[in-house]
Amino acid sequence: MVAPGGGGGGAASWPSEGELDVVRAKVVEISGRGAGEVRVVACPYRICPLGAHIDHQGGTVTAMTINYGVLLGFVASDDAEISLQSGQFEGVIRFRVDDLQKPIENPENINWESYARGAVYALQNFGYDLKKGIIGYISGVKGLDSSGLSSSAAVGIAYLMALENVNDLVVSPVDNIQLDKSIENKYLGLENGILDPSAILLSRYGYLTFMDCKTATHSYVYFSVLSKSQQCQGELPFKILLAFSGLQHNLPKKSGYNTRVFECKEAARALLCASGCEDASSILRNVNPAIYEAQKCILEENLARRAEHYFSEMKRVVKGRDAWARGDLREFGQLISASGRSSILNYECGSKEMIQLYEILLKAPGVLGARFSGAGFRGCCLAVVESGHRGGGGGVRPGRVREGAAGAGEQDPAGPPRAGLRARVTAPASYSSPPTAVLPVSPEQPRIAVPGAPRRRWRRGDAGVQGWTVVAWASARRAPPVYAYGAWLVPVET
């Protein structure tokens, strides 16, 4: 099955045929159906270079998807029952699509079952008629659930698309964005915006996705007009690194997130009332920047910091979009680092370990900019790195990478020219979390994966080392095929 959506160029690197085969085999095992009946939804994780913590205030944000994510293999059930198993969690979920789903009142009751029920809840509330359930197996990247890459949105969208498929529902990407927002806001009680589902469903390979979260509009920005010919071949002059702290959380269970959203709204309410616009919705996007500058002295200290983060981040997003369009990676990276500092000082998110990791990345040679990924309370830091960097001295160390027998990255000084770089960053003695490997990522354009289409094969960095292992990868050399939008369905072979 193909899903509706726009086109765009990009080389497929995920999922690999091996990953798809594993998911299909699990569905065959638990359903008793033939492999030819199994469909797979692939939802990539996302990163947000600029636009931290402002989507819920109607701000403008930037995003990319990456070449890792969630796979949901499924077949239609014979009735209304949903039966699900997970690669990360034990047990079997069973319920019916005609069961009335009610919002979760206690965040402590949220578990992996909640996202499947939330998808049914959202579709029910939007008036969609569900008659068939699914028998499915869902799996993400081990260790990267709840790590600031929007794995929850990827899971929610995967369930939505599977249920839509078996019930013959035609749902646009824009509507799926709102459906996933309903899962998060109304069913789970998380006061986030539309950044995560929008990034997953709308991003394209080689572009920076620029989104206005108030008007729900988006556009795509090339990495400089001069590099279009290179971009068509996937040869981008930078790498994206994800440094995973080893600390995880389930965002709906973090009261700090909703508290800060409330503080932003309180700051907006105070500023709007002071300017005679008390009837406007209490989001900071409705506050004119000139009004903010004139009235910010009335805000309590914590509200003033939240407002300062919002208005300064809005400026960084616009400057970052323009720097990206010019191909100015240095300014783009500096703005990302400034966003990280504001997230710490003004938005006051991030644990001691996350702040240490952010500071370490800033000192590593070749790193142009870094900040927290996602909410910033736990999870990953992202960094933009010069693709041609060959530094040494404890920062980025030269070294080719080849694929080992188990698929893990191994040192190979004589490796092929298009292999990547390995960087080793030493953790401080005070770092209290177990060190973990960092996954290599590439700007990935979500698409409908077609059997037999050309793929790039990407490999995971070594695990279990002291400090963080950061692996960067070279881009594909061949012009990519054309794919469609967002999360996608892998069609069955006939």
Task: Please answer whether residues 224 and 326 qualify as being in contact, where contact means their C-beta atoms are separated by less than 8 angstroms.
Answer: yes
Q: What percent of the chain has pLDDT over 90?
A: 54
Query: What is the CB neighbour count within 10 angstroms for residue 225?
Result: 9
Here the CATH number for the domain that contains residue 109 is 3.30.230.10
Please indicate, yes or no, if residue 336 is contained in any of the structural domains: no
pLDDT at residue number 399: 26
Q: What pLDDT band is residue 389 in, cutting at 50, 70 and 90?
A: low
Q: What pLDDT band is residue 423 in, cutting at 50, 70 and 90?
A: very low
Please indicate, yes or no, if residue 291 is contained in any of the structural domains: no
pLDDT at residue number 380: 83
Please indicate, yes or no, if residue 326 is contained in any of the structural domains: no
pLDDT tens, 466-478? Answer: 223 222 222 222 2
Nearest of 240, 25, 230 to residue 139 by alpha carbon: 25
pLDDT tens, 247-267? Answer: 766 655 556 888 999 999 999
- The set of residues, in sequence order, having a beta carbon less than 8 Å from that of 332 and lying 6+ positions away, is 49, 320, 323, 324, 368, 369, 384
pLDDT at residue number 386: 86
Please indicate, yes or no, if residue 103 is contained in any of the structural domains: yes
Please indicate, yes or no, if residue 251 is contained in any of the structural domains: no
pLDDT at residue number 253: 54
Please indicate, yes or no, if residue 386 is contained in any of the structural domains: no
The answer on pLDDT for 281 being more than 80 is: yes
Question: Is 322 part of the annotated catalytic residue set?
Answer: no
Mean pLDDT of 393-420: 26
d(C-alpha 481, C-alpha 10), whole Å: 6
Q: What pLDDT band is residue 373 in, cutting at 50, 70 and 90?
A: confident
pLDDT at residue number 379: 79
Distances (CA, A) of 331 to 209, 219, 316, 321, 346: 18, 21, 10, 10, 21
pLDDT at residue number 225: 56
Please indicate, yes or no, if residue 171 is contained in any of the structural domains: yes
Please indicate, yes or no, if residue 466 is contained in any of the structural domains: no
Tokens of 153: 């949105």
**How many domains is the chain partitioned into structurally?**
1
Q: Rounding to the nearest 10 degrees, give the CA dihedral for residues 150, 152, 155, 160.
A: -100
Of 55, 145, 180, 196, catalytic? 196
Task: Please answer whether residues 233 and 478 qualify as being in contact, where contact means their C-beta atoms are separated by less than 8 angstroms.
Answer: yes
Task: Please answer whether residues 54 and 61 qualify as being in contact, where contact means their C-beta atoms are separated by less than 8 angstroms.
Answer: yes
pLDDT at residue number 194: 93
Mean pLDDT of 184-208: 90
pLDDT tens, 105-158? Answer: 888 888 999 999 999 999 999 999 999 999 999 998 876 666 567 788 999 999
Domain span at 187: 8-219+484-490
Tokens of 175: 């509507």
pLDDT at residue number 108: 86
